[in-house]
Structure 1
Amino acid sequence: MARPPRFDSAQILDAAVLLAAAGGPAAVTMSAVAQAIGAPSGSVYHRFAGRPELLAEMWLRTVEQFQEGYAEALDREPDPHRAARAAARHVVAWSRAHPRQAAVLLYGAGDFGQADWSAEHRARADRGNRRTLARLAALGTALGTTGPRDRERIALAVVEVPLSLVRRHLRAGADLPPYAEDLAEESAAALLGAAG
């Protein structure tokens, strides 16, 4: 009977997230991940063919976890103003609950070698981004705001402002303040109108 593997993909990706959060994308090497979990390098290569695949899987798993909750926040509220505020809150709340993953997402996919990812990984990233952009476009339509300036305002309200709040604290090595979600929600309401 075959012995179950000692180190699974989730453990390896968790270690990669920790390394990336602490030292940035350059800190995530196959040998550093192996050392972090106390495994031989061969165990990491058994799960991931090379560093580009490891980085792609780490980034995609992290961003997909965020996007899943973000989509739920947008979809949960039928009123578009409430949905926008919920989405802004989600950015901060998710980051508070997952500070290491949030630190990873403060970089971009390009920082994790997206140009070297497989076509399948790049397509997976594109699909996730398209789904999120489609939800934001639907939010704009529901709000009656569809012009270029309106799209920028929506992006500011439900993506950029909450992320800047997260970025400022996480990059300083500080915890998010207890009122951060409220500030994100208030900012979204101010940018998009306080109806609802």
Structure 2
Amino acid sequence: MGRPTKYDAAAIVAAASAIAGEGGPDAITMSAVATRLGAPSGSIYHRFASRAALRGAVWLDTVTCFHQQVLDVLDERRPTESALRAVRATIEFCRTDADRGAVLLAGRAAFTPDDWPAETLDAVIDSDQTFFTRISAVARGVAKESGVDKQLVYLAIVDLPYAAVRRHLSSHRPIPPGLADVVADAATRMLTPRPAE
């Protein structure tokens, strides 16, 4: 049986995510990751051929985990309940993993996707398509169920939770444990149809 790999791809990506969480995507360098892990630079290049490949892996890891956390709470048969669970899931994802939260909020463009390996880009596109197909189905369901305009639905379930966590993550402050409740309550108000005047 061979020796276990000390610096596997998951450990390298986790270290790179932590670096991005602290200093932004541009802080991810092969030498910075090697230093954080206490590994020789060759160990990093053995797993990732370039800085761009490592950045792509960080983004793919983040969105895959985030998408799965949200998708796990969606049920198109109960769109409004699902939408509010998605709001909470977004907040909790960023609260419990601030590094990935910071990566997510930096946005894909900050990780130089034009330079990613083709298989990384394809995997990201597949994950995005699955996620947005499910979110769109829930948003349509909420709009139909409540009569609230679909754009307002997207504002409540996508933009609002991002905005709520951004001010904490951008200043490297912990997200308060009760923030999910506050944002879900605000989203509930947004998704409640107003009586006709």
TM superposition outliers: structure 1 runs of 4+ over 4 Å: none
What is the match of residue 80 of structure 1?
79
What is the match of residue 106 of structure 2?
107
What is the match of residue 16 of structure 1?
16
- RMSD, aligned CA: 1.9
Distance 1:151 1:129 in 2: 20
Which AA in structure 2 matches 1:186?
Answer: D
Q: Under a length normalisation based on structure 1, what TM-score does the superposition of the two structures give?
A: 0.90
Which AA in structure 2 matches 1:28?
Answer: I
Alpha-carbon offset, residue 144 of structure 1: 4.1
- For these two proteins, the number of residue pairs brought into alignment is 191
Indicate if the aligned counterparts of 2:73 and 2:85 stay in contact, CA closer than 8 A: yes
What is the match of residue 133 of structure 1?
132
**Aligned-partner SS, 2:74:** helix
Counting aligned pairs with the same residue, the percent is: 38
Q: Under a length normalisation based on structure 2, what TM-score does the superposition of the two structures give?
A: 0.90
Which AA in structure 2 matches 1:22?
Answer: E
Which AA in structure 1 matches 2:47?
Answer: R
Cα deviation code 1:128-147 (max 9, x no counterpart): 1111111122113322449x
What is the match of residue 48 of structure 1?
48
What is the match of residue 7 of structure 1?
7
Matched ranges for 1:62-73 at <5 A: 62-73=62-73
Cα deviation code 1:68-97 (max 9, x no counterpart): 01001223x742111111101111111111
Alpha-carbon offset, residue 116 of structure 1: 0.7
**Aligned-partner SS, 2:106:** coil
Note the residue ranges of structure 1 that are not aligned, 5 or more in a row: none
CA distance 1:150–1:118, change in 2 (3 Å):
farther
Distance 2:150 2:130 in 1: 16
Cα deviation code 1:160-189 (max 9, x no counterpart): 100111001111222222321112211221
Distance 2:88 2:6 in 1: 38
Which AA in structure 2 matches 1:133?
Answer: F
